[in-house]
Amino acid sequence: MDDVRMIEIKEDIMADNNQVAAGVRDRLCGQKTMLLNLMSSPGSGKTSLILKTIEALKNNLKIGVIEADIESKVDAEKVASQGIAAVQLRTGGLCHLDATMVTQGLDALAAQDFDLLILENVGNLVCPAEFDTGAHKNVMILSVPEGDDKPIKYPLMFSICDVLLVNKIDYLPLSDFDAAALRKRVLALNPKIKIMEISCKTGEGIRDWISWLTREIAAFRRG
Amino acid sequence: MDDVRMIEIKEDIMADNNQVAAGVRDRLCGQKTMLLNLMSSPGSGKTSLILKTIEALKNNLKIGVIEADIESKVDAEKVASQGIAAVQLRTGGLCHLDATMVTQGLDALAAQDFDLLILENVGNLVCPAEFDTGAHKNVMILSVPEGDDKPIKYPLMFSICDVLLVNKIDYLPLSDFDAAALRKRVLALNPKIKIMEISCKTGEGIRDWISWLTREIAAFRRG
């Protein structure tokens, strides 16, 4: 493989994507719609968090969801069953969402009066971190069973996020997960990140997450 | 982005990689060294399984480990502390191992008398499934907390593996994981896959894994 060629192509793709992402961000600012990009490993609880968020906010805010999945549409169906506008982007094997795919999702949603759009990225702690989706806020989930050493191994994801949600804290009694060690590792990479511990299963910590999100949406609307 | 250009480049990369992978496989067959490619999401237990495997087999077989990690070398250090030859490939942000990187790992290990080489791929349920590493056997881990729906969402990985190890079964009492549903979904994608339930923490099921591996290595050496 020709490394130089590979690098040039990657730079082209990234430059194109950054331009499209800036366009997405501007378009949604104009509509007063905050876009939140939710990322994690497979099975960390992205869909569960989205369902909890909808439950808490759907009476006060107009919410839409753009789901990415390599093959299936089960997540979009779960969201739609809550009476929420949802589109499913099937990435057809691609390991991340880019801003062009997000544009397609926005066009498919059609309406322009959303307060909050949530993007459920592909379950992957690597590639999605490299591509700006045009989101105003990047949020990641790490679940307790994944272990407290993940910031050492996947530093970029922890570096680019505004919020880290530590999910499945109901597993803590069976686990040797060290929350203090995790916090130290994450803050060394990203001193500004907000870390919250939650359980989508028991509901613990969800109130803090909803408070943070509500405040951010209000600040975003004030511009 | 120009889709046609992207697809052509991907085909070039894949064709180059398949050729290098075939070379890796032949080279190791000549040395009677079986190469096992171990894949999973972040935090499913790849390093723990490697340590359990070393513990069980190191007195009878010469084992080496090629670790891939985007940034750190903590896993290679853990393996080396067991007196096992280990090299760390730092992928520098890349989301998978390809056969050229494996060749670099083999060159770095230098010795040619290994019975078993284990490749710990990047923690990612998407991209590593697309790249032939030159391994003789592909093994994946799914941990109970990730959920029984993962074959629906990441079908390629389940389709290309010889073995699925369902790890962290010690979490089952706290989980709604449906092992029968998982098995049905996996076998629909890949009827030949061997599924074993294990816990690297309690040691449950590890004996079955070691028996399978020992039989496969013996069969490989007979040629």
Question: Which residue of chain B has the CA closest to A67?
Answer: B153
Q: Which SS3 state, helix, strand or coil, does residue B31 take? A: coil
SS3 content of chain B, % helix, strand, coil (to 5): 50, 20, 35
* Cβ atoms A123, B153 nearer than 8 A: yes
Question: Given pLDDT bands bounded at 50, 70 and 90, which one contains residue B125?
Answer: very high
* Two structure tokens written together for B153: 């969402």
Instruction: Transcribe A16-40 into DSSP letters.
Output: HHHHHHHHHHHHHHHTT-EEEEEEE
Structure confidence by residue, pLDDT tens digits, B158-184: 999 999 999 999 999 989 999 999 999
CB–CB contact A43 B145 (8 Å): yes
The per-residue pLDDT for B137 is 98
The domain tally of chain A equals: 1
Q: How far apart are CA B223 and CA B221, in angstroms?
A: 5
Check which CATH number belongs to the domain holding B131 and give it: 3.40.50.300
Structure-derived torsion over alpha carbons of residues A81, A82, A83, A86, reported in degrees to the nearest 10: -70
The answer to ipTM > 0.95 is: no
Name the residue among A13, A124, A147 with its Cβ closest to that of B43.
Answer: A147
Chain A residues in contact with B100 (beta carbon < 8 A)? 1
CB–CB contact B156 A70 (8 Å): yes
For the entire predicted model, the pTM comes to: 0.89
Tell me the average pLDDT of chain B. 91
Structure confidence by residue, pLDDT tens digits, A117-137: 999 999 999 999 999 999 999
Q: How far apart are CA B86 and CA A153, in angstroms?
A: 17
The per-residue pLDDT for A9 is 57
Chain A residues in contact with B125 (beta carbon < 8 A)? 41-42, 123-124
Q: What is the mean pLDDT of residues B72-83?
A: 83
Does residue B20 have a pLDDT over 70?
A: yes
Q: Which residues of chain A carry a pLDDT beneath 70?
A: 1-11, 92
CB–CB contact B143 A145 (8 Å): yes
Continuous H helices in B31-98: 46-57, 74-80
Q: Please check whether residue B147 touches A, CB under 8 A.
A: yes
The per-residue pLDDT for B1 is 38
Does residue B12 have a pLDDT over 80?
A: no
CB–CB contact A126 B124 (8 Å): yes
* Cβ atoms B75, B88 nearer than 8 A: yes
The per-residue pLDDT for B68 is 87
Residue range(s) defining the domain that contains residue B46: 3-222
- Lowest-pLDDT range of A185-194, B69-78, B110-119, B214-223: B69-78
Name the residue among B16, B126, B144 with its Cβ closest to that of A95.
Answer: B126
Q: Please check whether residue B104 touches A, CB under 8 A.
A: no
Residue B96 or residue B204, greater confidence? B204
Sequence-separated (6 or more) residues with CB below 8 Å from residue A117: A28, A33, A34, A35, A36, A63, A64, A65, A66, A106, A109
The per-residue pLDDT for B24 is 96
- B98 to each of A30, A124, B101, B179, how far by Cα in Å? 44, 18, 6, 32
The per-residue pLDDT for B124 is 92
